[in-house]
């Protein structure tokens, strides 16, 4: 099972999510965070980063959705 690691950033006071990138290893994902951490905005909210692991070539949302 091949995995990919999605790095995102979100401030706690907003729903605006920034996708930093998708990486082949958790180590590469952490290195990406280190590269952008000093940039404007990211340095102000350093706790906003997440790294999520996903199985490649698999549907991750297949239930559909409802308009509200």
> From CA 67, how far away is CA 50, in angstroms rounded?
27
How much is the pLDDT for 58?
Answer: 95
Instruction: Please state, in angstroms and rounded to a whole number, the distance separating the CA atoms of residues 17 and 67.
Output: 21
pLDDT at 4 over 90: yes
pLDDT confidence of 12, banded at 50, 70, 90?
confident
Q: Cβ(26)–Cβ(53) under 8 Å?
A: yes
Average pLDDT, the chain: 95
Checking if the pLDDT of 40 tops 90, the result is yes
**pTM for this structure?**
0.87
Buried b / exposed e along 1-22 (16+ C-beta atoms within 10 A): eeeebebebeeeeeeeeeebee
């Amino acid at each position: 099972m091949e995995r990919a690691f999605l790095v995102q950033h979100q401030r706690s006071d907003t729903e605006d999510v920034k996708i930093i990138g998708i990486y082949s290893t958790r180590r590469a994902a952490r290195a990406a965070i280190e590269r952008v951490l000093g940039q404007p905005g990211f340095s102000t909210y350093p706790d906003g980063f997440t790294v999520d692991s996903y199985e490649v070539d698999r549907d991750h949302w297949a239930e559909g959705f409802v308009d509200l």
